[in-house]
């Protein structure tokens, strides 16, 4: 049974600080990742997902949306895989 994992674009944004929501190292982050880029990576991974119009609590004014992914592994593993996919699109 897979669990739902929530991903916000700010997790992958190299221009942000950790306290602003970034979850990856700056060297594997990208500048201003958007939902379409994250969706493209998830499609390539064949991971079921849905997009929601929610915001990250630390960035409540941004209204950047989020992706809810069905994922069996850990959230950190998913974040690393998506970050790697985004970095390959640079």
- Give me the sign of the Cα torsion angle 26, 42, 20, 61: positive
Per-residue confidence band for 90, with pLDDT thresholds at 50, 70 and 90 = low
Residue 89 clears pLDDT 90, i.e. is over it: no
Q: Considering its fold, how many domains does the chain have in total?
A: 1
Q: How far is CA 31 from CA 28, 62, 69, 74, 86, in A?
A: 10, 15, 22, 25, 10
Instruction: Quote the tokens at residue 61.
Output: 């004014």
CATH number at residue 22: 3.30.56.30
Q: What is the pLDDT of residues 16-66, one digit of tens each?
A: 999 888 999 999 999 989 999 999 999 999 999 999 998 888 777 777 899
CB neighbours of 1 closer than 8 A, spacing ≥ 6? none
- Containing domain of residue 59, as a range? 3-88
pTM, entire model: 0.90
């Amino acid at each position: 049974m897979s669990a739902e994992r929530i991903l916000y674009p700010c997790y992958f944004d190299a221009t942000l600080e950790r306290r602003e929501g970034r979850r990856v190292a700056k060297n594997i982050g990208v500048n201003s990742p958007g939902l379409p880029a994250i969706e493209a990576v998830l499609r390539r991974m064949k991971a079921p997902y849905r997009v929601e119009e929610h915001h990250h609590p630390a960035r409540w004014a941004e209204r950047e949306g989020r992706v809810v992914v069905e994922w069996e592994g850990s959230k950190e593993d998913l974040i690393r895989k998506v970050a790697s996919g985004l970095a390959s699109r640079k």
